[in-house]
């Protein structure tokens, strides 16, 4: 009985200590908010990215790191440069079936998309197909994200066409235009390699999210308006990309009957088919593959319809001949000298930055999809790509 006051006293002391600790932590948090440390400078971020790229951290102890040989350092560098060395050792054969289905799905989707991207860039269709084969093979070895599909995108294709038309007219000299495009893509690849090697993806964080969303939305509108040429079968269409010029060209062609209704009927039919396939895939999860292969089915069915009905004789625009075989080396076509070298390098840098911004934007959307079930209120983009 005599121990009760002591126990009650100890409980009161414990509660008082807890209150004092809470007050102390609250005071420290308030002091930290009022005197918060400055964020790391861009040079500190750059140095950290370079150090992480060449010498990624491992779980070895400090004594083991001291005894690390140059071979282990070289292997750490290769693991940072080729992430396949990390996940490839733990790859299981049970995942191959799912990976095969994902590969077939992306292949069926990329064929019609690549032809459309080549059309946006004012190039022959085979060049769009070429760019859908080599980048995924390289990214399989050097990529660090499992969710991003690498290849040409509509925004960069449209930007490339819009900027290159000020340097060389594709209608006047398509060969010279193609060589300059090869040079631009070469510079874009060089800049993107530098961005990836030194982990400079954090630079995109300095761009306003509202500006990125506005740019992507505006690009989507312009790309959609550009497709009116093929949808309506317009023969005389403007080379400009602004909304006023495009709509003026469309209304002028409709007024003077420079369009073909069969193009509109065929295009709208398969557009409705794509929307229905997407709706079915969302409603029935077991049919997730239907919207993925719907673009390829559209290409096959439209080709059969045009071939059997001879619709190309009645004004329906077709792709015509696509050059077969593997892509020959284009190194000898690079214009690394001449009056347009500075312009091609500048356009290549702009294309690389826009592509990096597009990747970061897609990763933010993917992050939003992953966090949506958790009802997250704040989304932050990742710094690595």
Give domain limits for the chain: 39-57+65-87, 94-260+317-374
Can you give the pLDDT at residue 92? 83
Can you give the pLDDT at residue 60? 46
Can you give the pLDDT at residue 39? 63
Identify the CA nearest to 120 among candidates 168, 179, 167, 170.
Answer: 170
Can you give the pLDDT at residue 378? 40
Can you give the pLDDT at residue 170? 86
**In Å, how far from its chain's centre is CA 202?**
16
Identify the CA nearest to 355 among candidates 243, 216, 222.
Answer: 216
- Rounded Cα–Cα distance for residues 185 and 118 (Å): 13
Can you give the pLDDT at residue 362? 66
Cβ atoms 336, 182 nearer than 8 A: no
Cβ atoms 320, 345 nearer than 8 A: no
Can you give the pLDDT at residue 365? 63
Can you give the pLDDT at residue 184? 92
Identify the CA nearest to 191 among candidates 360, 352, 23.
Answer: 352
Token pair for 112: 């019609």
Residues of the chain with pLDDT under 50: 1-7, 9, 59-67, 374-385
Can you give the pLDDT at residue 384? 37
Can you give the pLDDT at residue 169? 85
- Sign of the Cα torsion 255, 118, 132, 345 reads negative
Span between the terminal Cα atoms of the chain, in Å: 68
The three-state secondary structure class of 67 is coil
């Amino acid at each position: 009985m005599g121990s009760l006051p002591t126990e009650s006293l100890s409980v009161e002391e414990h509660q008082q200590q807890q209150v004092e600790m809470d007050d102390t932590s609250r005071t420290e948090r308030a002091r930290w908010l009022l005197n918060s440390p400055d964020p790391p400078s861009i040079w500190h971020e750059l140095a950290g990215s370079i150090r992480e790229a060449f010498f990624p951290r491992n779980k070895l102890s400090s004594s083991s790191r001291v005894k690390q040989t140059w071979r282990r350092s070289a292997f750490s560098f290769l693991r940072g440069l080729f992430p396949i060395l990390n996940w490839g050792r733990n790859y299981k054969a049970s995942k191959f079936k799912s990976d095969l289905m994902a590969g077939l799905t992306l292949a069926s989707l990329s064929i019609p998309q690549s032809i459309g991207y080549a059309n946006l860039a004012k190039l022959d269709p085979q060049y769009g197909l070429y760019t859908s084969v080599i980048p995924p093979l390289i990214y399989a070895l050097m990529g660090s994200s499992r969710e991003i599909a690498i290849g040409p995108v509509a925004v960069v294709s449209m930007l490339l066409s819009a900027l290159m038309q000020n340097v060389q007219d594709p209608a006047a000299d398509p060969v010279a235009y193609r060589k300059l495009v090869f040079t631009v893509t070469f510079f874009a690849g060089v800049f993107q390699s530098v961005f990836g090697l030194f982990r400079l993806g954090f630079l995109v964080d300095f761009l306003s999210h509202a500006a990125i969303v506005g740019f992507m939305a505006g690009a989507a509108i312009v790309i959609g308006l550009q497709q009116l040429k093929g949808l309506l079968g317009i023969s005389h269409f403007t080379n400009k990309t602004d909304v006023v010029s495009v709509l003026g060209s469309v209304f002028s062609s409709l007024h003077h009957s420079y369009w073909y209704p069969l193009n509109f009927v065929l295009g709208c039919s398969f557009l409705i088919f794509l929307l229905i396939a997407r709706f079915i895939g969302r409603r029935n999860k077991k049919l997730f593959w239907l919207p993925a292969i719907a673009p390829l089915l559209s290409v096959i069915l439209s080709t059969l319809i045009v071939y059997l009905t001879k619709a190309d004789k009645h004004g329906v625009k077709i792709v015509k001949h696509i050059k077969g075989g593997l892509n020959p080396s284009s190194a000898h076509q690079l214009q690394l000298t001449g009056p347009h070298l500075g312009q091609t390098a500048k356009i290549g840098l702009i294309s690389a930055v826009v592509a990096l911004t597009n990747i970061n934007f897609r990763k933010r959307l993917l992050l939003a999809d992953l966090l949506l079930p958790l009802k997250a209120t704040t989304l932050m983009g990742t710094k690595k790509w």
